[in-house]
Amino acid sequence: MYEPPLKDLAHVREACQQLGRELARAGYDLAVFSSKPKYVEQHVVTGYAEAFASGTGGRVIGFAPRNRRLEFVLPPESTLPVEVVRDTSGEWEVSYYRTLMNSDGVLLVGGGQSTRVAGIVAMAQRVPVLPVAAFGGGAGEVWVNLDKVRNDAVDEDIAVLGEDWSGSSAERLVACLSRQVRRRQERAVEEERSARSGRWSSGVGMAVSGVFLLASLGLLVTAGGPRPAGMRSLAVLVGAPLCAAGAGAVIRNSFESDAAWVRALVRGLGAGLVSVLLYFASQLLAVPGLFDAIDVRRLLFFAVPLGFSAGFTFDLVYERLRAGAVPEPLPASAGAGLGASPGGGSAAR
């Protein structure tokens, strides 16, 4: 006695044999767990053996606890070999659920609570399921649950699974399973392709961040000594922190699941530009003659780390800008010495 109750029991054994024949014709192997005639495996294997005799089908593997035997009653002319794999556990549930996780699909007919749990576990792992709702029981409950979860099933599949049994049901049901299996394989291929693309994109992003970081250090090293501000010195003064900001943003993005490093790079450059310009503006307020004789290299020791920090924390920079906050200027004493007169004395404050 099952809850929900089974129904249409007069046709269930023949239906299982038809399903076995169609599974063999589709080239599926079978994993079964009991040879008792009150379970569906015996009848599915019988139909599978009939199709195997005509040259279709694959393997039938019986997973049994260490203290149980599997002895399927096959047609006299059958040449179907049944491989028995014994589990070290004495409980059938262990090998049952372990095999379930490695299956390409799960056929559910009738059953009770264990059948329903098997269907739920399979759906949670996105294993294609074939719950035959025509005979009620736990399989009927799984069909209802599958309609909510779907995974690789579509409306057409849900409709086929819920039909009353007919002469063409087995063929239609196995075709439904094959469609789910195919969609699962296509999804796995697409996920692998996306993962490879993500790894490639992440690698390119890290290479770009390394180039930007080296460029900022190179500009710092080759900046030269104190001299009046010109286009080259101003370009170095702004370019080095921007390179550092871009490197910081891409490195920050490498820690996240979203590998869109180009978008992060643009955001980092924007945050770095705003932060560095505001920093220089605050220095000009403290040292009005800063650009008359500027020591670019000395300023870059402040500006490059500032740019890197702004790029690495660009979200905080934009949050501060939205709030109307600007970077605090350095104290007046810190501003002294950032610029130098041609004679080497301190710039006027």
Q: The domain that contains 97 carries what CATH number?
A: 3.40.50.450
* Residues 158 and 14 both lie in one domain: yes
What pLDDT score does 347 carry? 35
Q: What are the pLDDT digits (tens) for 54-107? A: 888 899 999 988 888 899 999 888 899 999 998 888 888 888 888 988 899 999
Asked if residue 66 belongs to a domain, the reply is yes
227 class by beta-carbon count within 10 Å (0-12 exposed, 13-18 middle, 19+ buried): middle
Asked if residue 173 belongs to a domain, the reply is no
* Residues 105 and 234 both lie in one domain: no
Asked if residue 344 belongs to a domain, the reply is no
Distance CA 103, CA 130 (A): 12
* Residues 267 and 324 both lie in one domain: yes
* Residues 16 and 80 both lie in one domain: yes
* Residues 283 and 155 both lie in one domain: no
CB atoms within 10 A of CB 177: 25
* Contact call for residues 51 and 79 (beta carbons, < 8 A): no
* Residues 161 and 306 both lie in one domain: no
* Residues 131 and 210 both lie in one domain: no
Residue 248 pLDDT > 50, yes or no?
yes
Q: What are the pLDDT digits (tens) for 18-60? A: 999 999 999 999 999 999 988 999 999 999 999 998 888 899 9
Asked if residue 177 belongs to a domain, the reply is no
* Residues 59 and 147 both lie in one domain: yes
Distance CA 215, CA 217 (A): 5
Residue 300 pLDDT > 60, yes or no?
yes
- Please give the torsion angle defined by the CA atoms of residues 178, 48, 94 and 153, in that order, rounded to the nearest 10 degrees: 20
Q: What's the pLDDT band for 302 if we cut at 50, 70, 90? A: confident
What pLDDT score does 2 carry? 82
Range of the domain at 103: 9-167
Asked if residue 340 belongs to a domain, the reply is no
Asked if residue 183 belongs to a domain, the reply is no
Name every residue whose Cβ is closer than 8 Å to that of residue 244 and which is 6 or more positions away in sequence: 212, 213, 216, 272, 304, 305, 307, 308, 311
Q: What are the pLDDT digits (tens) for 311-336? A: 898 877 777 777 766 555 444 444 44
* Residues 158 and 202 both lie in one domain: no
* Residues 105 and 246 both lie in one domain: no
Asked if residue 96 belongs to a domain, the reply is yes
* Residues 142 and 201 both lie in one domain: no
* Residues 83 and 154 both lie in one domain: yes
Count, residues in the chain: 349
Q: What are the pLDDT digits (tens) for 253-299? A: 888 766 688 888 998 999 989 888 888 888 888 877 777 778 888 88
Q: Per the structure, how many domains does the chain have? A: 2
Asked if residue 347 belongs to a domain, the reply is no
